[in-house]
Every structure is written in structure tokens, then in C-alpha cells.
Structure 1
Amino acid sequence: MNAIDLNLLKVFSALAAERSVTKAANSVGLSQPAVSHALRRLRDLMDDELFIRSTDGMQPTERCRELAPAIDASLKMLQDAMTVKDDNDPANLRATYRLGMNDLFSTLLVPGLTARVAKQAPNVSLRFLHSMAINQNVDDAYSDLERGRIDLTVIQDFDTPSRFDRELLGASEFVCVARAGHPLFQPGLSMEQYTSLGHIMFTTLDAEYSRIDEALSKMGIRRRIELRVPHYSAALSATALTDLVYTVPRILVPHAEQAFGLQVSELPFEAPFRKIFQVWHRTRTKDFGHQWLRNVVSDVSQLSGIVP
């Protein structure tokens, strides 16, 4: 411990977050050679490579992954302890917050969050990172939170490990949408009409079926999926230009109607319903800036149609 100074820990944290010597140097305000020198000292002190160069940047070793959460939390506690806070006014905040979310939540939340933050905290900047957690291993989202890559994530109804806190933002059921003037589509589709149409399915993987299809299979029914896409925006665009229909979260309907002129029908069966949460690491729960950010996300979510 006597050989470790605070600057080394700051470099370690920056490298863990950025996975790049250049970006880490910019983050901590040092030159690239200084960061490289600090990394050599860290490797000697820890007796571990810590970061290994790859085509995807600096990849952390297992020892590095073990150390990162404790070092990040310690640096955050030290920063909070040494920061003089005259008042809890978001106008005085100077920070960059990284939020993880998929393109559904980005479409709904980014405009409102950007406007609200600009008005309340002009010295705060937001960075939005794409989260694939909806159809992939949700541990990826939690790993991003734990290593400090993101400050907050918006995800759908997964079990949250105890080292994280979460807030229910709302829930969404599903409806079916089609292009205006579709010759076979109408409000109040019957099951026969619904299954006779060609369907678009959202999936970030090469999956054959979704939760909608699981619900249908319990009734011994299958729909005809003709297109699979990894983005909600692509699914809506394809719906607007073809006779395919798309079973979409209801919270996306206002955007679908306004931006693509789509028409809507209720589903002729009981579809799954999804709860939507914002999740963060428990070390950030009492931080004023993070509390303010969570309140902004909650308020904008309700204005965007994500309601409990």
C-alpha cells in the first residue's frame, strides 16, 4: 500500500472504463506516455498484466475485474468526502453521465432527457450507450454498471442482484401495427386475421421465436414471421413500407403513429407484459447528482408514456 499513490488508482479506473490508453489519458488529464508509465507501475505492484491489448482495445484480466469495483467505489467515496457542497442545486453540477439503453428506450427518452438536463443542469453532459440486455445476457448490463462504464441503465423485467438498486419506471403491453391503407388490417383483429398476416419480429440474436410466439404456442397457434430485425426503428420503417405487421410495445405507439403513420389494433390474445426499471450500483444511491439524474429519468419516462 505504501507504494500506491492516488494517481495510479485514477489511471487504473480510467483504463478500466475507457479500455484505451489515449482515452484514459484524456479522461485524467495526463499524457499518453504518463499513462503508459503508470500502467507499468500498476502491473509491477499488482504482479498482473491487468490490461491486455487486443483488436477491441485493452481487455481486463480476471484480477483487474476483481479490483475495478472496489477501486471505483473507493475513488467515488473519496471524491464525495472532499467535495464541498454549498447546496444541492443541479445547476452547480459538473459531470458526464453515461446511460445504457436499447433503441426503444433511446427513441422514447433521449429527446426529453436532453432537454430537461440542458434546462436544469447546463454543465452536465449525457452519453447514451447501446444496451443489448433485452435479448442477450443481462449480466452484460450489470457488468457495465459494476465496472463504471455506465452510471445507469434502463432495462426490462429481469431479477436484479442485491448489489444494485432499481426503480420501477412503468410497464408496457403489446399491440399490433400496420401501414396506413393496409388492405387486410383493421382495428380489432381476430386471431384468424392476426395469424394470416406476415409478421416482423424484433430480436438482437438469430432467434426463431419471441415471447409473443411463446404465448401463442401455449394456445397451439403459430404466426408467420417473415422478417427479423435487431432494431425497433428498422421494424417500424419496414412496417410502413410493406404489408408486414409488427407486434410492438404499446409505449412506442405514439412514435409509430406520428413518425410512420401506422395504424393500431389490439391483440386478439393475452400477450406478455413487461416491467421497465432503471438500475444503478448501490454505491451511487445517496449521491446527490445521481439522485437528481434518476429523478429526471423517472419524470421523463412518465411524460414519454412509460407509466406504472
Structure 2
Amino acid sequence: MNQTFDLNLLKVLDVLLEEKSVTQTAKRLHVTQSAVSKHLARLREMFSDPLLIRSGKSLKATPKALSLAVQIKSILHDINQLTEIEHFEPSTCSRRFRFDMIEVSYAAILPEFMPPLLSSAPEIKLDIQTWNAQTMKRLLNCETDFAVRCLECDPRSRNHISSLPDELEYAELCRDHAICIVRNHHPILQSKRSMEDFFSLKHIQVTGGGNRHWLYDEVLTQKGINRETVIEMPDFHGALRLCERSDLLLYAPYHQVKDMIKGYDVTVIDIPIEMEPGIFVLIWNRYFNNDPAHQWVRKHIVETVSL
């Protein structure tokens, strides 16, 4: 049999072999008896065999049909497996998911979603590494499942959320706003603070989390103002330690440092610039959109993270 045929004919033959009746087959398949008879005629021609013959009030399968029965069921099962939506059971999932996260999200985001995730999926595993220069490439190549970083909503920023490549999807986890941190008893606390006061002082710049350019620098540039950054460093803990021991000013997203600053001799003050808040986002490649386990994990993260 070299000719191609409609796979639906196999379904008709499968039901005919079970029911041994054109009438009952038509009822099960919700078609007319005439349609079933036409399908049977095509099947007989294709297999060069009567397949089912009249025996009293029912049909009797020929030896050829009986030999085909098991194969047909196997083929139909395989087709159903290909098209059936996979059911995901969290309690039995032992999959290992890969995450790239900005360092501060270890404290700000991870504790929010990880405990309840392990409660629902106790065998699940996470491999986490800090966001780095290769993270975007890893996302685009599907070498990591998720990434967490902070992006901007303000249209003046080059790190705007719309700058993500089309291949990537994201979900908002929470919003964050910028603050200024100074040591306790800093001279700036003793007077009314103008924009000139802020930017006449020297600053620390933290460059972690995939950001080398912060929104306030871009806004200042548009206003023709430059601040003097005397040191750039990759983590907020080191920056806070330096801040509490000097007159340097440190700008930071509030949620990224709110727990850290409790351990330092510093004070938080407002920034004299109006800016849209930034957002923590969960990022993944759209390649994973229809992966049931991936869907469950990202839905869990979005629903449990609330800062």
C-alpha cells in the first residue's frame, strides 16, 4: 500500500473493529451511516481486503483486519500522545531549572518564591548564577530557563523594558523607586537640599545587575547636569560600607537595598528628580511558552512575589 490516505480512516476502522456495526460506529463518531460505509469502502480498497464481512446481524473481522487491529491502536495512541496537552504534576517534578539573577534579587526575590515552590514541588532543583555579560546570550540560546533583573519604565532610559529582544518574554514582579543613601550625620542632612547640593558632591556608582547606566544619570544628562562619580563597584554591600565611612552619596533602587541598609550606619533621603519607578522582571525565551513545567514555575513566581 504505497498511496497516502487520511489518518482519520484509521480511527473509523478502529471503531468498526470494536463495534462490529456500521450503525454503532456512526453514533460513536457522530457521523452518518452513509459516511461510515464510504470510509469502509475506501479502507477495503487501500488494504485490498474486505476487512469486515456480514455475519448475521453484525460484522466479522477478517484475518487481515485482526492483524491490523493492534497496529492501528498503537498508531492512534502515538498520534494522541503527540497532540495531547502534557499534564504537569508539581509534586513529582524533579526537573532542574536554570536561573540568572541580579545579585540583590537573591535577598529581595528568591526568599519570596522559593519556600512555597519547594512546598508544592519538593523534588524541583534550581541552578542559580549571578547576572553577567553572558546572560542575554544564554537567554537567547535557551541555555537558561529564567532571568531576573531590574529594567526601566521611564522612556528616557536606555534600559527601557521595550529594549528586550523580540525572542524574549517577561512578566512584571514588582516596581521599585530610586533613593539616595548617605551616612548618618552627613552635612547634607543639616540643610535644605537643592539639586545643586546633591550633584556638587561626589558619588559611588554600583554597576551590577546588567546595568552600567542608571536612569538618573540619563535624566541629568538631558538636563545638562553631570555628577562626579569617583568609584564604580559591582555590589551594594561594598558600596554601603564605603558610604557609611565617607561623605560619598549612593543612589540605589529601594527594594534592592532595603534589607541591606539595616546593617549600616546610613540614612535614606529622597532624590530631587522625578522619575518613573523601575521594575523587577522575570524573563524567559518564548521557546518555553508551551512547556507545562516552565509555565507552572513562572506562574508560581509571579503569583508569590509581592514586594
TM-score, normalisation: structure 2 = 0.60
In the alignment, which residue of structure 2 is the partner of 1:107?
A: 107
CA deviation after TM superposition for structure 1 residue 286, in Å = 2.4
Q: CA deviation at 1:90?
A: 1.7
Identity %: 22
Match of 2:237 among 233, 239, 246: 233
Local SS of the residue matching 2:109: helix
CA contact (8 A) 2:184 2:267 kept: yes
Does the Cα contact within 8 Å between 1:256 and 1:262 map onto a contact in 2?
no
Q: CA deviation at 1:248?
A: 0.7
Write the distance in 2 (CA, Å) between the matches of 1:125 and 1:112. 16
Q: CA deviation at 1:154?
A: 1.7
C-alpha separation in 1, matches of 2:250 and 2:288: 38
The CA distance in 2 between the partners of 1:251 and 1:279, in whole Å, is: 19
* Structure 2 letter corresponding to 1:270: E
**CA RMSD of superposed structures (Å):** 3.2
The answer to whether the 8 Å contact 1:103/1:232 transfers is no
What's the secondary structure of 1:193's corresponding residue?
helix
Letter in 2 for 1:240: E
Q: Report the CA distance between 1:124 and its aligned residue.
A: 0.7
* Matched residue SS, 2:127: strand
Alignment of 1:265-276 (within 5 A): 265-271=269-275, 273-276=277-280
Change (3 A) 1:282 1:158: same
SS in 1 for 2:272: coil
Deviations 1:169-216 (A, max 9, x none): 2332211012233343369732132123321112259x9974322212
Larger Rg: 2
Q: Distance in 1 between matches of 2:197 and 2:257?
A: 21
Q: Is the 8 A contact 2:105 2:256 kept in 1?
A: no
Contact 1:187–1:265 (CA<8 Å) still a contact in 2? no
**CA-CA distance at 1:168 after TM superposition:** 2.3
Count how many residue pairs are aligned between Structure 1 and Structure 2: 216
Q: How many angstroms does 1:247 deviate by?
A: 0.8
Q: Confirm or deny that 1:294 pairs with 2:298.
A: yes
1:1-308 matched pairs, under 5 angstroms: 88-132=88-132, 140-155=134-149, 156=151, 157-185=161-189, 189-203=193-207, 210-271=214-275, 273-302=277-306, 305=307
Determine the C-alpha separation between the residues in 1 that align with 2:201 and 2:183: 13
TM normalised by structure 1 equals 0.60
What do residues 33-88 of structure 1 show as CA deviations (whole Å, max 9, x unaligned)? xxxxxxxxxxxxxxxxxxxxxxxxxxxxxxxxxxxxxxxxxxxxxxx969996x64
Deviations 1:99-126 (A, max 9, x none): 1122132331223333232222110111
Q: Give how far 1:143 is off.
A: 2.3
CA distance in 1, matches of 2:212, 2:92: 50
